[in-house]
Amino acid sequence: MTVGLEHFLIVSAVLFVLGLYAMLSRRNAIAVLMGIELILNAANINFIAFTRYGAVNMNGQMSAVFVIVIAAAEAAVALAIVLNIYKNFHSVSVPDVDKLRD
């Protein structure tokens, strides 16, 4: 058997679903962030697989570079917010954080 586009897409789909499940089911806010990272990686695999098997240009890989940059910015800001939440609520469990006021 030869590995083609479908195999990479299947890996990426499974990775996406695992990330989605982590986002929906985990209580720890940092675990939710890990789920988001998995989803972004799944999107990147798709971009690069389509660059390899589909188009004749590099647009997919360029998009993947921007996805990586946005992921870095997102992780930095999200971690800062999580640290602030921990300072205010003494917990990073998502269901505990349900108050807007002090």
Partner 1 sequence: MGAFEIIFFLFAVITLASACVVVFSKNIVYSAFSLVFTFFGVAGLYVLLNADFLAVTQLLVYVGGILILLIFGVMLTNKVVNVDVRSSGSTKVPAFIISGIILIGLVGAIFQTHWISYKDVPWSRSPWNKDAVTQALTEYVKVQGSEGTATTIGKLFLTDYLLPFEIVSIVLLIALIGAAMIARREPDPADEALDSF
Q: What is the DSSP string of 44-70?
A: HHHHHHHHHHT-SSSHHHHHHHHHHHH
Q: Is 1 in the site for partner 1 (CB under 8 A)?
A: yes
Do 26 and 32 form a contact (C-beta atoms < 8 A)? yes
Q: What is the rounded distance in angstroms from the CA atom of residue 4 to the CA atom of residue 22? A: 28
Residue closest to 63 by CA, chosen among 39, 38, 46, 84: 46
For partner 1, how many residues bind (rule: CB under 8 A)? 69
Q: Is 43 in the site for partner 1 (CB under 8 A)?
A: no
Which of 24, 98, 100, 101 touches partner 1 by CB under 8 A? 24
Q: Is 38 in the site for partner 1 (CB under 8 A)?
A: yes
Sites of contact with partner 1 (CB under 8 A) = 1-11, 13-22, 24-28, 30-31, 33-35, 37-38, 41, 44-45, 48-49, 51-53, 56-58, 61-62, 64-66, 68-77, 79-84, 86, 92-93, 95
